[in-house]
Amino acid sequence: MTATTWLDLPADSPFGVHNLPYGVFTAADRPGRRRIGVRIGDRVLDAGAAARAVGSPSELLDAETLNPLMAAGRSTWREVRAALTEWLTDAAHRPAVEPCLLDLADVSLHLPFEVADYVDFYASEHHATNLGKILRPGQEPLTPNWKHLPIGYHGRSGTIVISGTPVTRPHGQRKAPADPAPTFGPSRRLDIEAEVAFVVGTPSTMGTPVALADFAEHVFGVCLLNDWSARDIQGWEYVPLGPFLGKSFATSLSPWVVPLEALQHARIAPPTRDVEPLPYLDDRDAEPWGLDLAIEIALNGRTVSRPPFATMYWTAAQQLAHLTANGASLRTGDLYASGTVSGPEPDTRGALIELTWNGEHPLKFPDGTERAFLEDGDEVSISATAPGPGGLRVGFGEVTGQIVG
């Protein structure tokens, strides 16, 4: 049973005390030191100030990023979450805590943690199949390794930006199959990838893989991510080493890190796997980490797709086990993304290249406009909710970005 907050909050708010996602903010009118905030409804609790106000100051909550809290480990995450819940539900704390609340509209949100390494996976069977059909027509759409291991690549952590940051159209080498030679210029096939991202808190030791069962010891929380992709640059450069400049110009992250703890009610079994996984990836006897997130993609304010995260073939726990299977260590702030989330239906695909079938069938809007790929000025927004306790929903902060030419 979820405790009730003393705040005046709609009973069905997706940002009630059952959620309590973490972010980092400054006051919009007088930017100064960055502070850790916890979202409650449409307000932000200055967590460090609240801790001092109730007489239990916390270095972890007084930091300018979430990294110290993320590094502290799961038992601390639980203690801090329990304390925050108490401050926001026990009316005795109200006089001390209420002055530490700001309106969401009055704060600027920043990247909430220092991103260490960034990895992007490819875990939707529907997405991988669609891309295989589009890019390698006439061949088997899934590569022979696809159902044996979660395919991924290392991305560029230094260009991960907070939601709302404008995205400059990238320039690069482009060469369509029919072109005699590549040209250099702005991408003409700029796309999105709607993804779910997992934030590593607890580090691991080099040489020691992280077992499937230890996922929740290491993963602090979950965000939404837009993996902007220049399909023309990507298509020419990706063979044989994978994505590079077609991806690394910008990756946008939602501002609120939803604690893994808040997603207990969203856990579900992943789809049945038709290939038996090797033991280190075998989650059939474990409580698996499928997550029932309902995602929505809007282009210039109109919903264009509703990808269901429940359909992902590989779970985040399997991805973490695979990421460390060779002994590679985890660092606090490592971020790994699910891969484009695409469901089985055409209107549940998570990228324009699939939604428009490589531009052949542009999206048509009521005002007569069409889109095959993104134009300058276009704004993309990805949002999501997940099941919470007692029929409530757990809200994710939106990840938005506007294309600048």
Residue numbers at the binding site for Mn ion (CB under 5 A): 120, 193, 227
Q: Which is nearer to Mn ion, 193 or 354 (CB)?
A: 193
Task: Using CB positions, name the residue nearest to Mn ion.
Answer: 227
Distance CA 386, CA 403 (A): 28
3-state secondary structure string, 12-49? CCCCCCCCCCEEEEEECCCCCCCEEEEEECCEEEEHHH
- Residue 161 C-beta: closest distance to Mn ion, Å: 15
Distance CA 233, CA 219 (A): 33
- Residue 339 C-beta: closest distance to Mn ion, Å: 5
Q: How many CA atoms lie less than 13 Å away from 61 in the CB half-sphere? A: 22
Peptide bond into 259 cis (omega under 30): no
Q: Which is nearer to Mn ion, 128 or 394 (CB)?
A: 128
Q: Which is nearer to Mn ion, 46 or 227 (CB)?
A: 227
Cβ-proximal residues to 322 (8 Å cutoff; 6+ apart), any chain:
149, 150, 152, 280, 281
- Residue 120 C-beta: closest distance to Mn ion, Å: 4
71 within 8 A of 203, measured Cβ to Cβ: yes
**Rg of the chain's alpha carbons, rounded to an integer?**
21
Distance CA 26, CA 33 (A): 7
Distance CA 37, CA 83 (A): 14
Q: Which is nearer to Mn ion, 22 or 336 (CB)?
A: 336
- Residue 193 C-beta: closest distance to Mn ion, Å: 4
**Which residue among 18, 110, 126, 127 is the active-site one?**
127
Q: Which is nearer to Mn ion, 155 or 209 (CB)?
A: 155
Q: Lay out the sheet containing 22-27: strands in order across.
A: 101-103, 43-46, 35-40, 22-27, 107-110
Q: Which is nearer to Mn ion, 259 or 308 (CB)?
A: 308
- Residue 2 C-beta: closest distance to Mn ion, Å: 34
Element counts in the chain: helices (H) and strands (E): 9, 27
* Residue 127 is a catalytic residue: yes
Distance CA 233, CA 230 (A): 5
Q: Which two tokens stand for residue 283?
A: 């989650």
- Residue 195 C-beta: closest distance to Mn ion, Å: 6
Catalytic residues: 127
